[in-house]
Structure 1
């Protein structure tokens, strides 16, 4: 999973409202939650390239900073998805 490692080391910190659990997960996946912590969608990512993970997050409206440490605009503070919840 070198692509996943690349994404985690180089791009993860650019995105807002993502959390990483470094457990011993052998089948890494992105899990999307509502504001009330209900699972909306689960996407396996072990076979995805770093660019594919990035495109997925971008397509869902996650805010991506230009560089680590940049401020996040107010409209992206609480709910990063552009699509209505029922479209996920």
Structure 2
């Protein structure tokens, strides 16, 4: 009788271990997906910032104005100005 119980316990342990490993793989895949999405978002943000800086530079040249005025002319919000201005000064 004890060998039957030990066999059932061992099977349960193996099933729990399989479940744990499967869940671990899922978490690892989710982390990889998140890392890729984060990388893509960072790249997109950088590209958008680059575009905003170029537009501000063109405005500065065309209007002969300061970086601050170029941002105002383009209607940039304060938070966008704070990100763009370091590249213009």
Aligning the two structures, in what range does the TM-score lie when normalised by the shorter sequence? Answer: under 0.3
| TM norm structure 1 | 0.21
> Which structure shows the higher helix fraction?
2
Larger Rg: 2
> Which structure shows the higher strand fraction?
1
| TM norm structure 2 | 0.21
